[in-house]
């Protein structure tokens, strides 16, 4: 899948049309990637987020990118891992799908994702990577709109996990 790449980096620096924020349901900022995005985008991002009325788990909302290189931020609330029997897999899939759909509606052709839910929300990384890779690659199979979808992993270990998931996906399909 040529339009999908997995790399190590800081998503805040991505030069894509949009970056995705692994936010929480309040959309009022948090730690991890959420904190980094808000710090880099500036206070105007939080001001816009305050008017959005939050975001349900698995859904996505869009704002401008302010001081970021990206024109837009797509905020999605990932599921908190509670053992796997609380619809976590489907909710994580919805995060990727709804972010891609919202991006497309807004004319976004290049987009970068972080590893949603695998930090403070404790979703097992291998399981999350399989879901992320399958959802994105299945989407791109029938889509001609996106030019580039990036998975920006913050550390080498996470990158390896996503690369393995992609290898497994490619061998199956």
Task: Please give the positions annotated as active site.
Answer: 34
- The nearest distance, CB 163 to ligand ADP, in angstroms, is 14
Binding mask 68-87 for ligand ADP (x = CB under 6 A): ----------x---------
- The nearest distance, CB 2 to ligand ADP, in angstroms, is 22
Helix/strand/coil for 135: helix
Q: How far apart are CA 23 and CA 167, in angstroms?
A: 28
CB 98 within 8 A of CB 113: no
Q: How far apart are CA 50 and CA 47, in angstroms?
A: 5
Binding mask 14-33 for ligand ADP (x = CB under 6 A): --------x---------xx
**DSSP H helix total and E strand total for the chain:** 5, 6
Q: Give the closest residue to 95 by CA, choosing from 154, 17, 35, 23.
A: 23
Q: Which of 41-49, 60-68, 109-117, 140-148 is the region at the interface with ligand ADP (rule: CB under 6 A)?
A: 109-117
Looking at beta carbons only, is 119 or 146 nearer to ligand ADP? Answer: 119
Which residues, including other chains, have CB under 8 Å from residue 137's CB and lie 6 or more apart? 1, 4, 166, 169, 173
Binding mask 110-149 for ligand ADP (x = CB under 6 A): ----xxxxxxxx----------------------------
Give the burial class of 28: count Cβ atoms within 10 A of its Cβ; 0-12 exposed, 13-18 middle, 19 or more buried: middle
Single out the residue of 12, 18, 133, 149 in contact with ligand ADP (rule: CB under 6 A): 12
Single out the residue of 10, 67, 107, 157 in contact with ligand ADP (rule: CB under 6 A): 10
Given the rule CB under 6 A, which residues bind ligand ADP? 10-12, 22, 32-34, 36, 78, 114-121, 152, 154, 158
């Amino acid at each position: 899948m040529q339009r999908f790449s997995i790399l190590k980096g800081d998503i805040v620096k991505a030069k894509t049309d949009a970056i995705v924020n692994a936010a929480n349901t309040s959309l009022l900022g948090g730690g991890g990637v959420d904190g980094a995005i808000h710090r880099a985008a500036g206070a105007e991002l939080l001001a816009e987020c305050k008017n959005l009325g939050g975001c349900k788990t698995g859904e996505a909302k869009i704002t401008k990118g302010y001081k970021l290189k990206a024109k837009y931020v797509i905020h999605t609330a990932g599921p908190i891992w509670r053992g796997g029997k609380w619809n976590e897999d489907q909710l994580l899939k919805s995060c990727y799908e709804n972010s891609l759909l919202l991006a497309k509606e807004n004319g976004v052709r290049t987009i970068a994702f972080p590893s949603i839910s695998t930090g403070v929300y404790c979703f097992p990384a291998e399981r999350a990577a399989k879901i992320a890779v399958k959802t994105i690659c299945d989407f791109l199979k029938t889509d001609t709109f996106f030019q580039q979808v990036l998975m920006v992993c913050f550390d080498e270990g996470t990158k390896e996990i996503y690369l393995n998931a992609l290898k497994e996906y490619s061998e199956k399909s």
